[in-house]
C-alpha cells in the first residue's frame, strides 16, 4: 500500500540580519522549523503549531514563499515567510528538551544551509532566496 500523502508546513524565519533559523536534530541533521499537518489541518496551522511548540514563541506567517513536492513520500511541503525575529524574540526561544529530537538551533546565511539539510528543504530555501532577492530588486 503506498504511503498516505501528507502536507508539511515549514517556516522561513530570519533574524533582522536576514539569516535563516534552522534546527539541528540529535542525529546531526539540520531542518527548517515546522512539521506535518493533521488530516484536517492546513499547512499554515501545522507550521504555526510546531514552531510555537518547538521555540516557545509565536511567529506570524505572512505568505507562502514556496512549495515542493516530496516525490518519495508523495507529500507536499509549503514554506511560509514569517516576520523576522528581533534580538528580544530570539532571547525568549526555549528548545523543547528531552521530549524532542531538536538539539540546537542556529541562524545561518543561505550558503551555509546546503550541508546536512534534506534535498527538498534545500530546494525550497534556494528558491525562497531567489524570490526574495528578486522582490527586493523591484
The Cα–Cα gap between 119 and 78 comes to: 14
Q: What pLDDT, on the 0 to 100 scale, is given for residue 33?
A: 93
Contact indicator for 19, 87 with CB cutoff of 8 Å: no
Whether pLDDT at 2 is above 70: no
For residues 44-66, average pLDDT? 91
Whether pLDDT at 36 is above 70: yes
114: confidence class by pLDDT, cuts 50, 70, 90: low
Helix, strand, coil percentages for the chain (3-state, nearest 5): 35, 35, 35
Q: What pLDDT, on the 0 to 100 scale, is given for residue 3?
A: 55
Residue % of the chain over a pLDDT of 90: 41
Whether pLDDT at 119 is above 70: yes
The Cα–Cα gap between 55 and 90 comes to: 9
Q: What pLDDT, on the 0 to 100 scale, is given for residue 11?
A: 95
Residue % of the chain over a pLDDT of 70: 88
Whether pLDDT at 73 is above 80: no
Contact indicator for 113, 22 with CB cutoff of 8 Å: yes
124: confidence class by pLDDT, cuts 50, 70, 90: confident
Upper half-sphere CA count for residue 47 (Cβ side, 13 Å):
24
Amino acid at each position: 500500500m503506498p504511503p498516505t500523502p501528507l502536507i508539511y508546513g515549514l517556516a522561513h524565519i530570519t533574524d533582522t540580519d536576514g539569516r535563516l533559523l534552522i534546527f539541528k536534530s540529535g542525529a546531526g541533521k539540520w531542518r527548517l522549523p515546522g512539521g506535518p499537518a493533521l488530516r484536517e489541518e492546513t499547512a499554515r496551522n501545522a507550521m504555526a503549531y510546531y514552531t510555537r511548540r518547538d521555540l516557545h514563541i509565536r511567529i506570524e506567517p505572512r505568505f507562502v514563499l514556496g512549495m515542493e513536492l516530496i516525490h518519495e513520500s508523495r507529500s507536499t511541503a509549503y514554506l511560509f515567510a514569517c516576520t523576522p525575529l528581533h534580538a528580544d524574540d530570539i532571547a525568549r526561544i526555549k528548545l523543547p528538551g528531552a521530549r524532542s529530537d531538536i538539539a540546537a538551533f542556529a541562524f545561518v546565511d543561505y550558503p551555509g544551509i546546503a550541508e546536512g539539510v534534506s534535498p527538498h528543504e534545500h530546494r525550497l530555501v534556494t528558491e525562497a532566496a531567489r524570490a526574495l532577492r528578486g522582490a527586493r530588486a523591484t
